[in-house]
Structure 1
């Protein structure tokens, strides 16, 4: 964990402004030929005394298929913390370009339920700058604490890949997403999602994440994709919603992304659940794939914590 004193932000950053700034930084680096940095900024960013907007929470729950509740879904907490994590990646001294970053995987630890009325402190930093066979990857960590007691409520680690970016002094061999190397035979699906071309824009409206690769075919093509793709955290959060209320109040949540979901799309999902000897829920595993090609999009699990 970052030991330096955090940079305290007065309010949650605007994601749209961060993306505009990221585009300007990328253009400036190209023009000036700024040499790439080899290390991460030794700082964290923090926003204090944050509360969820109840209308936004309700819209998020309805869109994701979550049961209406005063408890913040784990995916909603990720969205709440996302502007802080993005502000770290948008720093001038961050070594990797923000735009075009590929989301590889997520690991979340939910320690206790979070009420929408609770005041929260959100802190984020970057660590583990490592080589990848396709570029350079980095972990961005976010922690959410109760403002008054400073009890840790939620912790998330998002791993991103800057494809084609090889930093001097960092091994190019590195690691790869090993889950993608395994053979996959599609099981019988337990759910079939129909995702419209506007799915990216709709999720952006409830999450605040207006990354151009998700908004339209034109904006995605400008960043090198053949079309717009669904947000990784939308897919993961919808799978978590499909696991439903059977999960424990404290749990771990993992997802590894393998192939993007180009919009519009049909996505098949299978969820399998295991129970402890007592009969209580213990773990759910899920996998999603393209029902036409059989190509796997992502895998994940939700398991009781403690």
Structure 2
């Protein structure tokens, strides 16, 4: 069977208009059984945009950091969410996990094809979740693959528990103080195009069960990627993230990175005030 011809990856303004229109979308059909999939094409990577991203996070070992590619994958996911068959409102979807793996560093001046698909709806406890898989190819070769998990907003309101045990930062992780300010999140929103109102509007975030606006999950992952690369002096080939507690703005956090061997390790973002680990994951660096 001939593979579908990829459509041009929509621009951010077009995607933002469509996602805002999705505020009023309501499920009109039962959950999809066979998923959705699309193929998109992008002419190349804008060197100025990539350079701005590297400056924002102080990347020094990668011209195209691993976490940067999520910006393209996220556009493809958003475009798939705008498919008429996607039954959920886009604003308010809660990003709960991510995996990225770089197979080869693509050339900036060559086009990329992005295949994105939506898996069957699943449940984590009482919360329905959606998982998107994506794969980027250049010149017929896969250069990056990954997945993203989202929790549906209607299940986000949780009953507070009186028996939540405080968590501790793993003692083996060297600590680095981080701050999360609304101005930083606005800069990331401008660069990434992720204007989900839960990150920018305390009023709308509270309507979805949060105390106020929260940081983007991938903002934390990008900062983690930059810090790990600075620690190991090597670019990352893979990183995973579990977003298990929201970072309400403004916030103070402790970032910890553990090097298991020369190319593998783990990391955590810990919130001292809440005594909770907000983000944790594993990473893999390139060989010397």
TM-score range, shorter chain: 0.7 to 0.9
In the TM superposition, residue 249 of structure 1 has moved relative to its aligned partner by 5.8
Please state if 1:164 is matched with 2:154: yes
Of residues 121, 134, 139, the one that matches 1:129 is: 121
Of residues 7, 10, 28, the one that matches 1:9 is: 7
In the TM superposition, residue 236 of structure 1 has moved relative to its aligned partner by 0.9
Of residues 164, 168, 181, the one that matches 1:185 is: 168
Of residues 272, 296, 300, the one that matches 2:277 is: 296
Cα distance in 1 between the residues matched to 2:42 and 2:12: 19
Cα distance in 2 between the residues matched to 1:153 and 1:133: 34
In the TM superposition, residue 16 of structure 1 has moved relative to its aligned partner by 4.3
Aligned to 1:199: 184
Of residues 112, 120, 123, the one that matches 1:120 is: 112
Cα distance in 2 between the residues matched to 1:5 and 1:165: 37
The gaps in structure 2 that reach 5 residues or longer are 157-163
Aligned to 1:287: 268
Cα distance in 2 between the residues matched to 1:157 and 1:229: 22
In the TM superposition, residue 6 of structure 1 has moved relative to its aligned partner by 4.1
Task: Describe the superposition over 1:263-284 as per-residue Cα deviations: whole angstroms up to 9, x where unpaired.
Answer: 1111111111022xxxxx1312
Of residues 225, 242, 248, the one that matches 1:256 is: 242
Two-structure CA RMSD over aligned residues (Å):
2.8
Distance 1:183 1:303, change over 3 A: farther
Cα distance in 2 between the residues matched to 1:283 and 1:222: 40
Of residues 200, 206, 212, the one that matches 1:215 is: 200
In the TM superposition, residue 77 of structure 1 has moved relative to its aligned partner by 0.6
In the TM superposition, residue 209 of structure 1 has moved relative to its aligned partner by 1.4
Aligned to 1:27: 24
Cα distance in 1 between the residues matched to 2:196 and 2:143: 27
TM-score using structure 2 length: 0.85
Cα distance in 1 between the residues matched to 2:233 and 2:134: 22
Aligned to 1:86: 78
Aligned to 1:174: none
